[in-house]
């Protein structure tokens, strides 16, 4: 128990991210309320929240819904592990690996099928960086532990480089965009909808996206105690996510119109971003967790995980 606590402290210090606001420390009575954590880029959960879908469906089960926004994925899963929230919206495939290394007790409840082109390494259109090898010695901005982090590792490896060959700038999306615009960084590794926004609003060039490098599968999780106590609630949430994912792909203009004011983006930017995400919500199967182990091994090799992780040894719903 003490070792798990030490690992968790080290991991949180490593990432240095905080939620947008403090969450209540006390645990509520299991089942009375489902507390859902999400990020700004949590598309399907944002649609459900905006429409009030889960309030309606879970209200029939006598369950209240509360919403808790986070700036990034790892503190979201840390909140899940300590009982501050019950269900997590989608996080990048890298995030559960870090949470596992910290001893988190989490259950996969669903995954989105791969969306490799929804994240990319971008440079200014007039940059002298033409190939991945040109990143040597350059200052590259990205969010630590995000899918972008693994994309960068995989891209550098393809070019015969490692993280030690570049200057690292750990930046959350908003800070990364600001640094990129003022040329404080030479390249930026980012995901949608932030990727679509910078492509439409600035003169940029995609050095590479995730195709052939990183599948970028996003995962929905629950705390293991909540998944065991209220599988009926989890089932309703997963079914709503599946329906919403189909709606976003079948009605791209309507979905973009709904999301644009929530995200503070224009409709065409949201539509471009959504076109690159699969939004196919499916069950998590052991044979679909292979890349999770690759991610875990890559981070371990870079000295970013405190111990070796069996990335497939996670309960599934």
The domain locations on the chain are 2-115+217-301, 116-209
Q: What is the CATH number of domain 2-115+217-301?
A: 3.40.190.10
Q: What angle do CA 28, 34, 35 make, to 5 degrees?
A: 80
Q: Provide the token pair at 33.
A: 């309320």
Cis peptide before 193 (omega within 30 of 0): yes
**In CATH, 116-209 is 3.40.190.10:** yes
Q: Looking at residue 72, what is its pLDDT?
A: 79
Computed on alpha carbons and rounded to an integer, the radius of gyration of the chain in Å comes to: 19
Print pLDDT tens along the chain (317 aa): 444 444 444 444 444 333 333 333 334 445 689 999 998 889 999 999 999 999 999 999 999 999 999 987 888 988 998 999 999 999 999 999 998 888 888 999 999 999 999 999 999 999 999 999 999 999 999 998 889 999 999 999 999 999 999 999 999 899 999 999 999 999 999 999 999 999 999 999 999 999 999 999 999 999 999 999 999 999 999 999 999 999 999 999 999 999 999 999 999 999 999 999 999 999 999 888 999 999 999 999 988 998 999 988 888 99
| Residues in CB range of 309: below 8 A, 6 or more apart | 97, 100, 101, 296, 300
Between helix 2-15 and helix 73-81 the angle, nearest 10°, is 160
Using one digit for the tens of pLDDT, what is the confidence trace for 261-310? 999 999 999 999 999 999 999 999 988 899 999 999 999 998 899 899 99
Report how far apart, in Å, the C-alpha atoms of 24 and of each of 36, 45, 119, 127, 186 are. 13, 21, 33, 46, 40
Cα separation, 96 vs 107, whole angstroms: 10
Q: Phi and psi dihedrals of 71, rounded to 5?
A: -80, -25
């Amino acid at each position: 128990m003490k070792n798990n606590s030490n690992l968790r402290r080290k991991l949180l210090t490593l990432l240095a991210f905080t939620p947008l606001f403090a969450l209540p420390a006390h645990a509520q009575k299991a089942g009375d309320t489902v507390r859902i954590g999400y990020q700004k880029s949590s598309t399907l959960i944002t649609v459900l929240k905006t429409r009030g879908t889960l309030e309606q469906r879970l209200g029939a089960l006598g369950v209240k819904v509360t919403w808790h926004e986070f700036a990034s994925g790892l503190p979201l899963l840390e909140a899940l592990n300590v009982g501050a929230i019950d269900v997590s919206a989608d996080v990048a495939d890298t995030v559960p690996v870090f949470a596992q290394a910290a001893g988190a007790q989490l259950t996969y409840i669903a995954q989105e099928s791969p969306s490799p082109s929804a994240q990319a390494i971008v440079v200014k259109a007039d940059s002298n960086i033409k190939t991945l090898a040109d990143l040597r010695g350059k200052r590259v901005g990205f969010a630590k532990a995000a899918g972008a982090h693994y994309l960068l590792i995989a891209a550098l490896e393809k070019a015969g480089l490692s993280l030690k060959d570049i200057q690292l700038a750990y930046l959350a999306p908003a800070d990364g965009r600001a640094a990129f615009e003022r040329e404080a960084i030479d390249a930026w590794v980012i995901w949608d909808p932030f990727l679509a926004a910078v492509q439409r609003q600035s003169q940029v060039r995609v050095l590479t996206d995730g195709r052939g490098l990183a599948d970028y599968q996003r995962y929905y999780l629950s705390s293991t105690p909540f998944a065991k106590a209220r599988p009926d609630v989890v089932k309703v949430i997963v079914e709503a996510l599946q329906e919403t994912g189909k709606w976003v792909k079948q009605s791209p203009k309507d979905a973009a119109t709904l999301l644009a004011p929530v995200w503070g983006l224009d409709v065409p930017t949201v539509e471009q971003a959504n076109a690159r995400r699969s939004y196919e919500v499916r069950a998590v199967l052991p044979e679909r967790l292979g890349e999770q182990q690759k991610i875990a091994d890559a981070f371990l090799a870079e000295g970013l995980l405190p111990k070796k992780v069996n990335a497939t040894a996670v309960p599934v719903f």
